[in-house]
Amino acid sequence: MAIQGYLDELAGLRGDSPAEPAIRTLLACAAGRLHQLCESLLYRSYPRLTRAPLNLQSDEMLSAVVERLMKALQAARPGNVRQFFKIANQHMRWELNDLARRLDEQSRIVNIGSKEIASPELSASQLSPMARRMFEVIDELPEDERETFELVRIQGMTHREAAEILDVAERTVERRLSRGLVILKQKLGDLRPTESPQAQL
């Protein structure tokens, strides 16, 4: 309710009114939840980035995501909490994907310079070809199923928390999640049976 109040305040600003103070207040109100989501996404889906050489921490990720949101919310005006967290989730994913790509590029430069074959632990980023394919398939899910899957399986929300964000019943969350998992199993059926999308994410 508090976040929705600040979203309403932001949406009500006139064209000549500075948006930055309202955006800072909004993000300060949502900081606890955003930090929880950053931590969940980082350690569930990108644990490689938490180890050397990056040693990324959730606090550092939150700072980068807040900086992204400060810029994004200058133009975007999410009308409700669901839309706000959808934008936040996108920028969390983009931030981690950018870090993973830069890690890959740095590893390739080191390997070329040293003319040595580095071990997978030192050179591979979190996003392996298989993981990249899984994220592509997740992005191709129907919007309702994709959003529900990301909230529950990637960000680690309970069915009840996801239902509150999506403004639907818990059973609707369960149905959407089940449909999304069926689609993922169909499109990723050539992977080894012992490896589920959640395990790889």
For the residues 116-120, what does the mean pLDDT come to?
Answer: 39
pTM of the model: 0.65
Average pLDDT over residues 74-93: 88
Lowest average pLDDT, out of 11-15, 53-57, 128-132, goes to 128-132
Q: Are 145 and 172 in contact (CB under 8 A)?
A: no
CB-count burial class (<10 Å; 0-12, 13-18, 19+) for 29: middle
The model's pLDDT over 133-169, given as tens digits with 9 standing for 90+, comes to 777 788 888 989 988 888 888 777 789 988 888 889 9
Domains (ranges, CATH) in the chain? Answer: 1-126 (no CATH), 128-201 (1.10.10.10)
Joined together, the tokens standing for residue 186 give 């169909």
Q: Give the pLDDT mean for 9-33.
A: 87
Residue whose token pair is 């689609």: 183
Structure confidence at residue 139 (pLDDT): 81
- State yes or no: pLDDT of 175 exceeds 90: yes
Instruction: Characterize 113-132 residue by residue with b for buried, 16 or more Cβ atoms within 10 angstroms of its Cβ, and e for exposed.
Output: eeeeeeeeeeeebbbeeebe
Closest by CA to 54, choosing from 117, 125, 140, is 125
pLDDT at 126 over 80: no
Structure tokens at 192: 């080894």
